[in-house]
Amino acid sequence: GQQVQQSPASLVLQEGENAELQCNFSSTATQLQWFYQSPGGSLVSLLSNPSGTKHTGRLTSTTVTKERRSSLHISSSQTTDSGTYLCAMDQGGRALIFGTGTTVSVSP
């Protein structure tokens, strides 16, 4: 079936360091979305990026559709970036299929 794999499973950073999160998906995606889930549980959409490169603040997402992969780059990490980052794909207007997430912990 359709699968979304994320790596690494967890990441520990010192404040100020950069991070690169990876997402690989098993079939062609018409939508690729990155989410942040806080330790409290709320889910926030960071970027929708089915192809190419998109930026928002300190975040950059690059999706190579034909290679079925996407990355999320966090630059100059801050303690408030701690939480879980989820990648999700959609195959054409249907529901999102989520990866298992990367848990990021940023220490001061």
Partner 1 sequence: ETAVFQTPNYHVTQVGNEVSFNCKQTLGHDTMYWYKQDSKKLLKIMFSYNNKQLIVNETVPRRFSPQSSDKAHLNLRIKSVEPEDSAVYLCASSSTGPDTQYFGPGTRLLVL
Sites of contact with partner 1 (CB under 8 A): 30-31, 33, 35, 37, 41-45, 48, 50, 84, 86, 88, 90, 92-98, 100-101
Q: Considering the complex, what minimum distance in angstroms separates the CB of residue 93 from partner 1?
A: 5
| Plot region of 92 (φ>0 → left; ψ -120 to 50 → alpha; else → beta) | left
Q: ω into residue 39 within 30 of 0, thus cis?
A: no
Q: Considering the complex, what minimum distance in angstroms separates the CB of residue 8 from partner 1?
A: 15
Q: Which is nearer to partner 1, 9 or 14 (CB)?
A: 9
Query: Taking a C-beta distance cutoff of 8 angstroms, is the pair 102, 81 a contact?
Result: no
Q: Considering the complex, what minimum distance in angstroms separates the CB of residue 104 from partner 1?
A: 14
Q: Considering the complex, what minimum distance in angstroms separates the CB of residue 33 from partner 1?
A: 6
Q: Which is nearer to partner 1, 5 or 18 (CB)?
A: 5
Alpha-carbon gap, residue 44 to 102, rounded angstroms: 15
Q: Which is nearer to partner 1, 17 or 24 (CB)?
A: 24
Query: Taking a C-beta distance cutoff of 8 angstroms, is the pair 70, 63 a contact?
Result: yes
Q: Which is nearer to partner 1, 74 or 89 (CB)?
A: 89
Query: Taking a C-beta distance cutoff of 8 angstroms, is the pair 106, 19 a contact?
Result: no
DSSP 3-state of 3: coil
